[in-house]
């Protein structure tokens, strides 16, 4: 009896529908604190990188206004994601995308984390590296 009560008091696992990408078990209860810190880390991490550059380019008053505008847009989009997750009964962004867009949307979402940096790297090499050398070879261009 004691062994069964110890097993029941551990974390409860719920089966997740098998998908082409994953078929593992997830905990039923998600830590709100960990979700909060993950969201804050994502938002603040990307904001700190771009904030100083935007204030330098736009000036201090307009840069601060831009900061609050982006903060409002981020807050609004997070609220929409949370409400969409509640309405659809999903607990992850991938599951939320799969509800309206099906398997093609889910697979695209799974592929985008690779494609976005790959396209950025490729375009930097083509535009930044190659075009500069090509334009230098054009007669009458900048040398």
Token pair 């490729």: residue: 122
Tokens of 52: 């100083």
Domain count, the chain: 1
Helix (H, G, I), strand (E, B) or coil at 140: coil
Tokens encoding 110:
């799974």
Secondary structure of residue 27 in the 3-state scheme: strand
- 25 vs 92 pLDDT, higher one: 92
Residue 37 in any domain: the answer is yes
Q: 119: domain range?
A: 31-89+100-124
Contacts of 11 (CB under 8 A, 6+ apart): 27, 28, 29
In this structure, is residue 54 part of a structural domain? yes
Q: Is the pLDDT of residue 30 over 50?
A: yes
User: Does the pLDDT of residue 131 top 80, yes or no?
Assistant: no
Distance CA 23, CA 125 (A): 38
pLDDT score of 103: 92
pLDDT at 118: 87
């Amino acid at each position: 009896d004691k062994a069964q009560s110890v097993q029941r008091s551990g974390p409860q696992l719920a089966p997740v529908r098998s998908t082409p990408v994953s078929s593992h078990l997830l905990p039923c209860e998600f830590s709100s604190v960990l979700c909060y810190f993950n969201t804050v880390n994502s938002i603040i991490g990307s904001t700190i990188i771009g904030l100083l550059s935007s204030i330098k380019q736009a000036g201090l008053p307009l840069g601060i206004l831009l900061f609050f505008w982006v903060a409002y847009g981020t807050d609004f989009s997070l609220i929409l994601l949370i409400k969409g997750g509640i309405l659809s009964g999903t607990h992850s962004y991938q599951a939320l995308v799969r509800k309206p867009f099906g398997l093609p949307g889910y697979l695209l979402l799974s592929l985008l984390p690779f494609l976005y940096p790959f396209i950025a790297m490729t375009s930097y090499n083509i535009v930044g590296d190659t075009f500069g050398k090509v334009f230098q070879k054009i007669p009458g261009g900048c040398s």
